[in-house]
């Protein structure tokens, strides 16, 4: 559970949690995934920061490819990083293993003393063996306490467990060398050391690199313990006997390594491999990725739930359930103007992810920033396609709630140019009632982007419907025609107040450019303060846009000519960054804009 945040530090990475939401006392970066960068994701404080991100224009990090570990799909993390839930399960298994080891050494103490008292066998160094085994009982009890107390986060606990593996191996090896080695038999029996080396990676998983290091260290305790036995007075063993008895431990380490790699590869089948980070914002990250089996390039988006106002595990669970229902509904959308959703889910850390098609194009935010306002006929062409996507969503009861230029891409799609794709349907709100678990946003928190938020959404306290998306689309049209946002302000709260009270300046007056009266009237109708004064549906709006006098002027030939002249050989942008979250203080987390290529 999460308590008051104060000045605590994240136990996973040490980042200060002051002023930030935290789930299970971890910072947002650790919640995203241990497989991702440990650096905190910056949050911009201005509502006006542009979200455009051109694929290929960002600096490549040069880091090796990474993978993410979601529930229900075969995606795993490389190196030491593992999903938090798997780490917790491994910690529980470690506790059981430590209990078993403690009982084993305790039983060994009792049996050894019973055997010697009964006269069945006389041990050379029974007292030393008793002390050694008693010490390991204490070490194992300490490990049980560590796993149960929660003083160490699972990732650090499992690092300690590798030291525990070597410590137990050393105790077994020293126990083996309490008695002199037979000079007549090359290999008397298989040591418990070999069993321990082979079994431990199956009980407590680690990356192949760490498993190899721990296995070799554990195997090396046997020849090291041999010299300990020599110091206690044991006679020297023939070289070939020493070699064969030492070799079996290294063979066990090789078998342990083989099982670790095989299990790792089996887990990787069918997963998505994160190749390059394309963008990051106040809510998460976007990665270029590929499917391991299909080699299909995709875009993977990771979303941090705590920035949606979710803080407690109960709220996280409710939000996960709602996200799954809405993502399933989104995946059923068939409009060619809605970005294709290939996969979705929730990582064990509680971060949402979804896998989308990777598009070759520009979001409308970047388009206008790089090339200026678009001609009215092109704006009509783009808006009609966006209406097609929203109309299907609205017909199925889904409300986007974050329609903005950064969530609408124009791209080269097959043989079509200036083809629109609407993004971020993974964060929609359903128009139908989902029950009590639907109310998971913290009081005073508004989800959306202030520059494109409808008045009723900004005010809250009332049900919203599909007309909030039409207001957002009107703001997008205003941006396309003027190159300026509908309202600007020093804080996000000031911007929201403008949306509630300030009448919009007609686009033609704002830009000083000629705009068809019919088009301008539709834009202003979309920007009406009262929902009932806006267009009744996205279909109605698309039909009226198509009737504007300049609608047919933007032809496929003009679109292709523009693309070949302006974007020939350039990279493609990643799908837009996540929804913004406005706090009561007016701070807005917005994506960081990349320099234009």
Active site positions, annotated: 402
From residue 32, give the alpha-carbon distance in Å to each of 19, 76, 93, 105. 18, 14, 24, 41
From residue 318, give the alpha-carbon distance in Å to each of 31, 48, 347. 17, 31, 15
From the CA atom positions of the chain, what is the Rg in Å? 31
Residues 6 or more apart whose CB falls under 8 angstroms from that of 184 comprise none
For residues 551 and 504, what is the distance between their CA atoms, to the nearest angstrom?
Answer: 24
Reduced 3-state DSSP string for 1-65: CCCCCCCCECCCCCCECCCCCCECCECHHHHHCCCCCCCCCCCCCCCCCCCCCCCCCCCCCCCCC
From residue 427, give the alpha-carbon distance in Å to each of 13, 117, 423, 424. 28, 72, 10, 6
Q: Is 583 exposed, middle or buried (0-12, 13-18, 19+ CB in 10 A)?
A: middle
From residue 247, give the alpha-carbon distance in Å to each of 129, 183, 185, 242, 298. 24, 16, 15, 8, 47
For residues 515 and 525, what is the distance between their CA atoms, to the nearest angstrom?
Answer: 15
> Contact, 478 vs 487, CB < 8 A?
no
For 180-324, strand residue ranges (E) read: 272-280, 284-291, 297-303
> Contact, 574 vs 286, CB < 8 A?
yes
Tell me the three state secondary structure of residue 279: strand
Tell me the three state secondary structure of residue 297: strand
For residues 377 and 535, what is the distance between their CA atoms, to the nearest angstrom?
Answer: 20
> Contact, 421 vs 333, CB < 8 A?
no
């Amino acid at each position: 559970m999460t308590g008051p945040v104060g000045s605590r530090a994240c136990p996973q990475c040490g980042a200060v949690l002051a002023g930030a939401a935290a789930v299970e006392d971890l910072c947002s970066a650790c919640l995203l995934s241990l497989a991702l960068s440990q650096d905190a994701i910056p949050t911009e404080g201005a509502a006006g920061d542009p979200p455009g991100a051109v694929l290929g224009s960002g600096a490549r990090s040069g880091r090796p490819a990474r993978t993410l570990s979601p529930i229900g799909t075969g995606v795993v993390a490389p190196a030491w990083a593992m999903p938090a839930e798997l780490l917790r399960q491994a910690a529980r298994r470690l506790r059981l293993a430590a209990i078993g080891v403690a009982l084993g050494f305790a039983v060994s103490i009792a049996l050894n003393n019973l055997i010697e008292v009964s006269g069945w066998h006389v041990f050379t160094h029974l007292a030393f063996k008793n002390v050694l085994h008693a010490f390991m009982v204490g070490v194992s009890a300490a490990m049980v306490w560590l796993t149960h107390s929660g003083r160490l986060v699972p990732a650090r606990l499992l690092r300690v467990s590798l030291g525990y593996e070597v410590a137990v191996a050393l105790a077994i090896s020293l126990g083996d060398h309490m008695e002199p080695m037979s000079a007549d038999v090359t290999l008397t029996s298989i040591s418990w050391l070999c069993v321990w080396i082979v079994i431990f990676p199956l009980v407590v998983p680690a990356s192949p690199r760490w498993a190899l290091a721990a296995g070799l260290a554990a195997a090396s305790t046997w020849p090291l313990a041999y010299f300990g036995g020599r110091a206690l007075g044991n006679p020297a063993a023939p070289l070939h006997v020493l070699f064969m008895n030492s070799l079996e431990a290294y063979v066990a380490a090789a078998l342990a390594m083989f099982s670790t790699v095989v299990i790792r590869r089996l887990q990787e089948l069918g997963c998505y491999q994160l190749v390059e980070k394309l963008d990051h914002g106040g809510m998460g990250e976007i990665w270029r990725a590929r499917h391991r089996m299909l080699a299909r390039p995709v875009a993977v988006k990771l979303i941090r739930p705590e920035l949606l106002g979710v803080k407690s595990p109960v709220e996280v669970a409710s939000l996960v359930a709602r996200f799954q229902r809405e993502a399933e509904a989104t995946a059923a959308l068939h409009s060619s103007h809605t970005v294709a959703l290939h996969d979705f889910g929730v990582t064990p850390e509680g971060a949402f992810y979804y896998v989308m098609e990777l598009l070759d194009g520009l979001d409308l935010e970047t388009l206008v920033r790089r090339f200026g306002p678009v001609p009215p006929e092109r704006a009509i062409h783009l808006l009609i396609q966006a209406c097609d996507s929203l109309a299907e969503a609205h017909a199925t009861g889904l409300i986007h709630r974050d329609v903005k230029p950064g969530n609408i891409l124009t791209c080269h799609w097959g043989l079509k140019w200036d083809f629109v794709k609407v993004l971020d349907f993974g964060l929609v709100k359903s128009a139908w009632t989902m029950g009590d678990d639907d109310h998971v946003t913290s009081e005073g928190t508004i989800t959306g982007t202030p520059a494109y938020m409808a008045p009723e959404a900004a005010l809250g306290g009332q049900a919203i419907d599909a007309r909030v998306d039409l207001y957002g689309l009107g703001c997008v049209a205003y941006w396309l025609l003027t190159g300026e946002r509908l309202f600007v302000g020093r804080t996000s709260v000031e911007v929201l107040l403008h949306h509630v009270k300030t009448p919009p300046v007609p686009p033609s007056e704002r830009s000083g450019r000629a705009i068809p009266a019919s088009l301008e009237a539709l834009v202003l109708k979309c920007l009406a303060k009262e929902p009932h004064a806006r267009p009744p549906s996205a279909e109605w709006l698309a039909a009226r846009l198509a009737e504007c006098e300049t609608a047919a002027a933007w032809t496929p030939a003009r679109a292709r000519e523009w693309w070949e002249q302006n974007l020939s050989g350039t990279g493609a942008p990643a799908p837009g960054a996540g929804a913004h979250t406005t706090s009561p203080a007016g701070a807005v987390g917005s994506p960081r804009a990349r320099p234009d290529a």
